Chain A
Amino acid sequence: MTRIAHKTTVQEASQQPAGAPFWRVMVALTAKDLRAELRGRELINAMLLFSVLAVLIFSFALELDRQARATSITGVWWVTVVFAGMLGLNRSLASEKDRGNLDALLLAPVARGALFFGKMFSNLIFMWIVAALLTLLITVLFNETLFLPWLAAVMLLGTVGFATVGTLLSSMTVHARARETLLPILLLPVSLPIILSAVRASTAILSGAPQEDWIAWPQMLLVADIVLLALAYILFDFVVEE
């Protein structure tokens, strides 16, 4: 068995190169993704259409009548955002790889962490667009007003955690043989603490429970986000080192 000496490349990769500053690389990459999406619109349309279909199927499957809505509408809201987000995650790195852009990005003399955050932010923005339109859709279709400041805060915290893990994992699964099937299997168990806390928080907020009953959930989400962001930042260097 040969020992593979990759240590030098890891160290080189983790050092901040003297090129562009961190945040500018990040913003440039996010802007690039948004511009490409604005011109091509291959991702956001699919995500939005999927969300509408998912809400439709949920409303038939769960028979969302007046009483069922109050307890399960936040679940529908979250599951749809998560699944639509997964569609986006699958495409966002696959399109980089299939068009040969991933190698170019990795060759660029910029910090790898900036590439990660750039990708993560564009995924996050797509999820927010879907979430915003979904909120409107549910408010109109089910007459449940989801436009509450705390719900927005929970959606923000939850999607940040999900997009962090999702971007890290999709940068691995993009190299796999069956990448579209592998991503959900890897992503769902690992992001479950986030989804669980977010759904519990949202249900409690929507039911109008007093703040001390549910404030622990957003706090846990915040802790999870910080831990996952730090972990993903460290691990991303190992994922893209070739």
Chain B
Amino acid sequence: MAHRVSTPRSAILTGLTVIAILMFVVATLMALFYAPTDPQGMVQRIFYMHLGAFMGGSLAFLIAAIASILYLVKRNFKWDMMALAAIEVGLVLTGFTIVSGAIWARPIWNTWWTWDPRLTSAAVMWLAYAAYLMLRNGFEDPDRRARFAAVYGILAFSSVLFTTFITRVRPDTIHPVVVGPSPQNAQGSFEVNSSAMRLTLIFNILTYIVAAITLIWYRYRLERFTRQVQALKMQVLSR
């Protein structure tokens, strides 16, 4: 079996890395300085990163679900690696969403956490994907691990969709909705009403989407190399 040893980073990935870093710096500066201060004060600025990270994380979980389906259909380990990479990145980004939300909620809602439907659904999403990583640790046979992980990836995604659906159609959330009409009980609502705020928001969302894709790509490369090293190790040991 011929082994492709570590390939150098492709030009696209290098370009993407540079773009992602630049965008991240600009987006953060925009959120901190360019966007006008909201009546809520400085803490509202966290919102740009909060929503951006959520969008990036949701995209990562969507990629993971698609990769899981593709693995079951195609049986190519590259889709398994893709799903794993996307879920790890998604966990980091949605984890950041939850933590940044808690930091905002402390001065605005006067509590770090409340069992609001939206918060609950975010927490369940995080736990379901954390369970995905536990599942991967539970099986040694690579074929079985990839297969079961793909099945769970699909199941977790549908459950997350459902939890989101259930909790979003209910009117009793206190979580504000900035894009579209806010729920009637929303507390701490604010409006993205100036063009500077809108631009900052759109740019932040774009940044986190690019960052998510870049990170998934790196994590995928790392996973590919890890598996190559393992395969080489087995080859040497079996000699």
Binding site for B on A (CB under 8 A): 1-7, 165, 168-169, 172-173, 175-179, 182, 185-186, 188-193, 196-197, 220, 224, 227-228, 231, 235, 238-239, 241-242
Contact = CB atoms under 8 A, between A and B. Distances in A.
B190 interface: no
A197 B120 CA distance: 13
Nearest to A223: B162
B13 interface: no
A192 B124 contact: yes
Contacts, number: 91
Nearest to B159: A190
A182 B133 CA distance: 11
Contact of B155 (A6, A231, A242): A231
Interface of B: 1, 72, 75-78, 120, 124, 127-128, 131, 134-135, 138-140, 143-144, 147-148, 150-152, 154-156, 158-159, 162-163, 166, 227-228, 231
Contact of A190 (B128, B139, B150, B231): B128
18 contacts: A3-B76, A3-B77, A5-B75, A7-B75, A168-B151, A169-B152, A175-B144, A176-B135, A177-B139, A177-B140, A182-B138, A185-B131, A190-B128, A190-B152, A196-B163, A227-B162, A231-B155, A235-B151
A197 to B, nearest CB: 6
A197 B170 CA distance: 12
A193 to B, nearest CB: 5
B147 A189 contact: no
Nearest to A242: B144
Given A185-B131, A192-B163, A1 B231 contact: yes
Given A189-B128, A196-B166, A4 B143 contact: yes
A1 B146 CA distance: 14
A178 B147 CA distance: 18
A121 to B, nearest CB: 20
A96 to B, nearest CB: 17
B57 to A, nearest CB: 16
Contacts of B76: 3
A238 B134 contact: no
Given A172-B148, A238-B147, A190 B155 contact: yes
A238 B163 contact: no
Nearest to A3: B76
A238 B68 CA distance: 12
A175 B166 contact: no
